[in-house]
Amino acid sequence: MLTDDRLVKTVEISVFAHATEDEEKVKQAVKQLTPNEAIFETQKLTGHYDDPITLISISIAKKKEATELLQKIYNRLSSLDRQTILDSLENRIDPTGNLYLRLDKQRAYNGKFTLHENDPIRIKFKLQIPHGADQVTTIREYLLNISEEEETAEQ
């Protein structure tokens, strides 16, 4: 794992627990991603049809944990999902250099990480891109490096 060059500063994870879902199971899906000591914040909301919705969120402010989380998620995705991220990086990065991923919360509950757009676990990685560097190129190289390190470690 990368220890010297930590591109990731912080992580914000959020997910909705709808009235038809067990809030504890939704939290368990998020726990599959996060360190054990992560603290959940919840906010009660009202949906379009006045149905109750709970917004569950976690923030990780330690660079080491944030970096390890990106590595963990990226390396547990299928090769197809990793390629999808690389191919769509321009659409996953905002002007301030934040990287956004969305994962299937049902599959995460079962310990599997899969990209998913509908009712997902939303993850925002706040990145520290070197001044003057191209965001997409920097992040692409970083992700490819993470993947290579994982493959080397497995051999």
pLDDT (tens digit, 0 to 9) for every residue of the chain, 155 residues total?
333 467 999 999 999 999 999 999 999 999 999 877 789 999 999 988 899 999 999 999 999 999 999 999 999 999 999 999 999 999 999 999 899 999 999 999 999 999 999 999 999 999 999 889 999 999 999 999 988 776 666 65
Residue 3: per-residue pLDDT: 36
Residue 150: per-residue pLDDT: 65
Residue 63: per-residue pLDDT: 92
Residue 14: per-residue pLDDT: 98
Cα dihedral sign, 14-138-92-113: negative
Q: Is residue 59 part of a domain?
A: yes
The DSSP letter of residue 93 is B
Closest CA to 123 of 87, 49, 72: 72
> Residue 93 belongs to a domain with what CATH number?
3.30.1440.10
**Dist. CA 29–CA 87, nearest whole Å:** 26
Q: Is residue 55 part of a domain?
A: yes
Residue 35: per-residue pLDDT: 73
Residue 37: per-residue pLDDT: 76
H-state helical runs in the chain: 23-31, 63-76, 79-87, 89-92, 105-109, 135-154
**Dist. CA 51–CA 69, nearest whole Å:** 33
Q: Is residue 1 part of a domain?
A: no
Q: How many domains does the chain have?
A: 1
Residue 135: per-residue pLDDT: 94
Domain interval for residue 17: 8-154
Residue 148: per-residue pLDDT: 74
Maximum pairwise Cα distance, the chain:
53
Q: Is residue 79 part of a domain?
A: yes
CA angle 77, 116, 107 (to 5 degrees): 65
Q: Is residue 99 part of a domain?
A: yes
